[in-house]
């Protein structure tokens, strides 16, 4: 099994050494782990992202661990890029200096609001949730116009705090499914949602089944921010992925895809 969404302490809100994450993956019987740490380059977002100066250490440490543990596990390295069209060209130039295995894309902000922050969760009670879901869907569509990314991370994370309208906001967004298919993106099944107020993965089973029906491939990630989170909730999530109709997951090597039987 693989885990394609693992963070490090470099992002400012995770803990443990990169080696500790690899060792946890080995103990959990995983065959492959991919570091996918945050890189936002937002000047006010230091607590949620590594800096430009930290990228070389991050990349080189992952490659060192790949060599050290090559007989026990495959260690891959990528980035989770928070979508910001104003910064994307700069990010592309920086990221192009490294031979990453995959690049994930995510939406964490609507304007200046960090929609996944517990500290700002009260704001959901002040918003028109139907309109908010539409704004989030529009951000996803805007993000998909760029061919820089490989994986769409936690695509319905807007439902994190469990509000009913946001749990089902994707149900009628057929244009999202069409665009994902058209652009050839891989969708991540992110298991961290089981530990959030919504108590289900990103995406939900119904959305996952529609993705499978549309022929859209998936991978799986724990979104681990602690070594003990690596591979969390995978057993039941793999059963869900199979029930949705999937026969395989995708892994990456230098931006090239491979299939792993599920």
pLDDT digits (tens, 9 = 90+) for 159-208: 999 999 999 888 888 899 999 999 999 999 999 999 999 999 999 999 99
* Residue extents of the structural domains in the chain: 2-261
When pLDDT is averaged across residues 136-159 and rounded to a whole number, the result is 94
Which pLDDT score is estimated for 43? 58
Which pLDDT score is estimated for 135? 94
**Two tokens at 136?**
């989030």
Which pLDDT score is estimated for 49? 85
Look up the pTM and report it: 0.94
pLDDT digits (tens, 9 = 90+) for 9-23: 998 889 999 999 999
When pLDDT is averaged across residues 151-156 and rounded to a whole number, the result is 96
Distance CA(5)–CA(200), nearest Å, equals 17
Which pLDDT score is estimated for 52? 86
Contact 155, 210 (CB under 8 A): no
**How many contiguous H segments (helices) and E segments (strands) does the chain have?**
8, 11
**Two tokens at 109?**
């902000």
Superfamily in which the 2-261 domain is placed by CATH: Metal-dependent hydrolases (3.20.20.140)
CB-based burial, 221-257: b 16+ in 10 Å, e otherwise:
bbbbbbbebbbbbbeebbebbeebebeebbbbeeeee
Which pLDDT score is estimated for 45? 55
CB neighbourhood size of 111 (10 A): 7
* pLDDT beyond 70 at 44: no
């Amino acid at each position: 099994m693989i885990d394609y969404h693992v963070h490090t302490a470099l992002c400012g809100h995770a803990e443990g050494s990169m080696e500790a994450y690899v060792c946890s993956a080995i103990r959990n019987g995983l065959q492959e782990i991919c570091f996918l740490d945050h890189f936002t380059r937002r000047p006010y977002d230091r607590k949620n992202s590594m800096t430009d100066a930290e990228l070389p250490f991050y990349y080189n440490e992952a490659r060192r661990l790949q060599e050290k543990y090559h007989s026990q596990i495959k260690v891959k390295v990528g980035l989770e890029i928070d979508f910001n069209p104003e910064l994307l060209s700069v990010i592309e130039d920086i990221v192009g200096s490294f031979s990453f295995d995959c690049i994930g894309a995510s939406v964490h902000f609507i304007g200046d609001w960090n929609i996944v922050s517990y500290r700002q969760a009260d704001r959901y009670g002040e918003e028109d949730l139907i309109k908010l879901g539409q704004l989030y869907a529009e951000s996803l569509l805007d993000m998909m116009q760029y061919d820089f990314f490989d994986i769409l991370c936690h695509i319905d994370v807007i439902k994190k705090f469990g509000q009913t309208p946001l749990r089902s906001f994707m149900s009628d967004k057929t244009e999202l499914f069409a665009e994902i298919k058209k652009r050839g993106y891989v969708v991540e099944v992110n298991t961290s949602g089981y530990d959030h107020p919504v108590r289900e993965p990103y995406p939900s089973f119904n959305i996952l089944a529609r993705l499978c029906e549309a022929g859209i491939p998936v991978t799986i990630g724990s979104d681990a921010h602690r070594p003990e989170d690596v591979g969390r909730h995978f057993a039941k999530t793999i059963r869900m992925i199979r029930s949705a109709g999937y026969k395989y997951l995708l892994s990456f090597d230098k931006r090239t895809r491979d299939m792993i039987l599920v």
